[in-house]
Structure 1
Amino acid sequence: MTSTVLKACHWSLCVETSPQDGDSAASSQFRFPHKAFWVILSASLLLVIVALGLTGHLGLSRPHSQPSQIVRITVPDQTGVLINQSAVVDQQNDLVTFCVTSPANQTSTVLFDIKHGLICYKPVDQQSCFLRKMERSDYDNVHSLLHESARKNHFQLSGNETQRQTEFLGVLAASQVDVSTLEEPLQALCQDRSIHWTKRADGPGKQRLVYFCIDICFPSNICVSVCFYYLPE
């Protein structure tokens, strides 16, 4: 007489037994899944350990954000007297801040916000800040500083090789800017001052006087004298 084959399933594992197997079949039915459980658990723990190890390695190999760097620029003026300027380069936020000291030992600030394409002038002897949009030449000059500052933090410019140019900016007195609409670096720079838009102009004309100028020098041997005057209402 052919014995009936019984199929016992547990944990998605099937074991075929015959009625005459008795207790040995029942014993193997529970032993095998128990062993498979520990194998699966060990493999899972191994995968977790490998994953944590890879994550830690990637975290250590990831470059840290570069802090702001102070760069010094030394250049002789038209009379041969050395002028010292400093610039704070923040490559992570695309910001370059110039600190320009006048012969009277007063320091003005010029902030290049490359990300938003704006230049903000904060003269020491005024109660206002002045904005203008960056142009192609401004991007070229500032990028030379961003790239060169990665190699050194002091630039000695030669007087006979330095190109000098003057830019005139007319202040639009009727276009005061709401400081809350500006980005955080500009707000922090001019938080206690009024802010006005400016635009490039050919010159102040004979009937108007230039009321202040700021000289800025770049590592590309270019010095720019930016002069402001008020436009008519």
Structure 2
Amino acid sequence: MVRCWKHSENRLEEAQCTDGGPAASPRFPHKAFWLSLSASLLLVIIALGLTGHFGVSQPPTQSLQIVRITAPDQTGALINQSAVVDRQNDLVTFSVTSPANQTSTVLFDIKHGLICYKPVDQDSCFLRNMETSDYMNVHSLLRDPTHEQSQFQLYGNETQRQTEFVGVLATSQVDVTTLEEPLQALCQDRSVHWTRRAEGPGKQRLVYFCIDICFPSNICVSVCFYYLPE
């Protein structure tokens, strides 16, 4: 005989089960369990959604830095330059302003070992392979970010000056579409020519233009261009 319980008005009474089946077990609170589980899942979904939202909407870590360089020119007058340093893509872009308030651009593409000159008064861009001294000069702008500065003041008695002559290979024009994206964007509306470092133009050749670039390492370089004989 199976023992069962029935609830009377004032007390619990023992009674004999009439169906002969097993005793009914206490009912588990299914409703409360499912409500708790649903609430937990909802909180997890909301948390994941917020994490994904902020992860997508937040801008990437800023890798660009603008560095302003003030240095005296050959006459002692102060000139201002700015360099945009892109550490993520290993790019340093100089904006060089002439005394006539015209700005030329010099792009150091460290990743591909190239320098691209975009003079303001020319309809061409000029490419040159980077050399050891070029890497050393731009290293002062790509050094440890914990020591970075946004302004550099160079003084005439502390600054080393040098002149570099670059010969333009007029017959070796470059298809701009074969260049990497930073160079394409810089020279998309111009012809592009290869150049190479040379000892000097000689008396029979004329220097067409020069671009002065000053680095935070107290080095100023005058890059002077002339066309080589074809």
Scaled by the length of structure 2, the TM-score of the pair is 0.75
Q: Identify the residue that residue 85 of structure 2 maps to in structure 1.
A: 89
Q: How much has 1:59 moved relative to structure 2?
A: 4.7
Q: Identify the residue that residue 110 of structure 1 maps to in structure 2.
A: 106
Pairing 1:193-204 to 2, within 5 Å after superposition: 193-204=190-201
One-letter identity of the residue aligned with 1:109: T
Query: What is the distance in 2 between the residues matched to 1:82 and 1:148?
Result: 28
Does 2:72 align with 1:76?
yes
Q: How much has 1:38 moved relative to structure 2?
A: 3.9
Q: How much has 1:88 moved relative to structure 2?
A: 2.0
Query: What is the distance in 1 between the residues matched to 2:148 and 2:208?
Result: 38
Q: How much has 1:68 moved relative to structure 2?
A: 3.3
Q: How much has 1:94 moved relative to structure 2?
A: 2.4
Q: How much has 1:222 moved relative to structure 2?
A: 0.6
Percent identity between the two aligned chains: 81
Q: How much has 1:32 moved relative to structure 2?
A: 6.0
1:181 to 178, 183, 194: 178
Does 2:135 align with 1:162?
no
Question: Structure 1 residues 46, 134: CA separation in 2 closer, same or farther (over 3 Å shift)?
Answer: same
One-letter identity of the residue aligned with 1:193: R
Q: How much has 1:215 moved relative to structure 2?
A: 0.6
Deviations 1:152-209 (A, max 9, x none): 3211101111111111111111111111111222112111110001111222222212
- Unaligned 5+ runs, structure 2: 1-18
Query: What is the distance in 1 between the residues matched to 2:133 and 2:44?
Result: 53
Query: What is the distance in 2 between the residues matched to 1:69 and 1:220?
Result: 17
Query: What is the distance in 1 between the residues matched to 2:23 and 2:33?
Result: 22
Q: Secondary structure at the match of 2:207?
A: coil
Q: How much has 1:120 moved relative to structure 2?
A: 0.6
One-letter identity of the residue aligned with 2:215: F
Q: Identify the residue that residue 168 of structure 2 maps to in structure 1.
A: 171
Q: Identify the residue that residue 22 of structure 1 maps to in structure 2.
A: 22
Q: How much has 1:47 moved relative to structure 2?
A: 8.8
Q: Identify the residue that residue 208 of structure 2 maps to in structure 1.
A: 211
Deviations 1:27-75 (A, max 9, x none): 67xx56958974994697389369739947x959x99421633321111
Query: What is the distance in 1 between the residues matched to 2:170 and 2:33?
Result: 79
Question: Structure 1 residues 33, 177: CA separation in 2 closer, same or farther (over 3 Å shift)?
Answer: farther
Scaled by the length of structure 1, the TM-score of the pair is 0.75
Query: What is the distance in 1 between the residues matched to 2:84 and 2:176?
Result: 23
Query: What is the distance in 1 between the residues matched to 2:122 and 2:202?
Result: 22
Query: What is the distance in 2 between the residues matched to 1:219 and 1:147?
Result: 11
Q: Identify the residue that residue 225 of structure 1 maps to in structure 2.
A: 222
Q: Secondary structure at the match of 1:124?
A: coil
One-letter identity of the residue aligned with 2:126: F
Question: Would you say the 8 A contact 1:212–1:228 is kept in 2?
Answer: yes
Deviations 1:102-160 (A, max 9, x none): 23332211111222221110111111100112222212211212338863321110111
Q: Identify the residue that residue 119 of structure 2 maps to in structure 1.
A: 123
Question: Would you say the 8 A contact 1:66–1:91 is kept in 2?
Answer: no
Q: Secondary structure at the match of 1:147?
A: coil
Tell me the C-alpha RMSD between the 2 structures.
Answer: 3.4
Question: Structure 1 residues 142, 20: CA separation in 2 closer, same or farther (over 3 Å shift)?
Answer: farther
Question: Structure 1 residues 169, 55: CA separation in 2 closer, same or farther (over 3 Å shift)?
Answer: same
Does 2:136 align with 1:140?
yes
Query: What is the distance in 1 between the residues matched to 2:36 and 2:169?
Result: 74
One-letter identity of the residue aligned with 2:169: L
